[in-house]
Amino acid sequence: MPSIDVCFSPELLHLYDLKGKAVVAVDILRATSTMVTAFAEGAATIYPVMDLEECRNFAVNGCLTAAERNGIKAEGFDLGNSPFGYMDGKVKGREIAITTTNGTRAIRMSEAASEIVVGAFLNLQAVADHLESLGLDVLIVCAGWKGQFNLEDTLFAGALVERLQGKFSSENDSTLAALYLYQTAKADLLNFLRQSSHVRRLEHLEIHKDIEFCLRHDAYTTLPVWRKDRLVDLKS
């Protein structure tokens, strides 16, 4: 039986051997939720890049550019990090270069893995099904907040572990913790998260609607995966 493990921060990633594994990169608020939404809205390709300068350069190739720093849209870019900004046909058929504080890092630091899948509550079951069909050992890489543990990514990890129970072995400590936290929280994820000063800080940025949206389970069947230097949607 393959195993499933959870890495709570990119700062801990060096402790794991990614070779031969499937990584699920998670940044619920909001990078990976937004990427999943972008593909559901018809985006052709996403380039997750590390810095603003590199991201800006993609514009010359006709890419839309998207940038977030400290929770808000960076100046001079086409898009921010709110999933609602990617709706209404804005991204249909387009290539997008995106850079965010935490999420991009989780993806790019996982390049040694055999497969990188972009996970969010929005495409939870699609991710679970794909992992089951791959049959590889899984590592869920939480983007965290500036290197620190965060609850929303951990709750996603717990939700994914719950969906895969009986199919993957999940006896390591971080996996058990994520599962228990999700089971404690799942009846009302939003109110559970509202105790967190980190989430309240995000709510002050007037992204309350975004947070509610990002906690929806299985809204899409989108499955963004890493191929060489970009994300493509395996389901499209």
Name the residues that contact a copy of itself, by CB under 8 A: 8-9, 11-12, 15, 145-151, 154, 171-174, 176-177, 180-181, 184-185, 195-198, 200
β-strand pairing of 64-69 with 72-73? antiparallel
Nearer Cβ to a copy of itself (67/139): 139
Shortest distance (Å) from residue 97 CB to a copy of itself: 28
Q: Is 213 helix (H, G, I), strand (E, B) or coil?
A: helix
d(CA 7, CA 13): 7
Shortest distance (Å) from residue 154 CB to a copy of itself: 7
Q: Which helix (H) or strand (E) holds 26?
A: strand 22-26
For residue 30, whether the previous peptide bond is cis, meaning omega lies within 30 degrees of 0, is yes
Shortest distance (Å) from residue 81 CB to a copy of itself: 19
Shortest distance (Å) from residue 183 CB to a copy of itself: 8
Shortest distance (Å) from residue 68 CB to a copy of itself: 19
d(CA 221, CA 127): 8
Nearer Cβ to a copy of itself (49/143): 143
d(CA 34, CA 17): 28
Nearer Cβ to a copy of itself (23/96): 23
Nearer Cβ to a copy of itself (13/107): 13
Nearer Cβ to a copy of itself (133/197): 197
Number of residues written out for the chain: 236
Dmax (CA) of the chain: 48
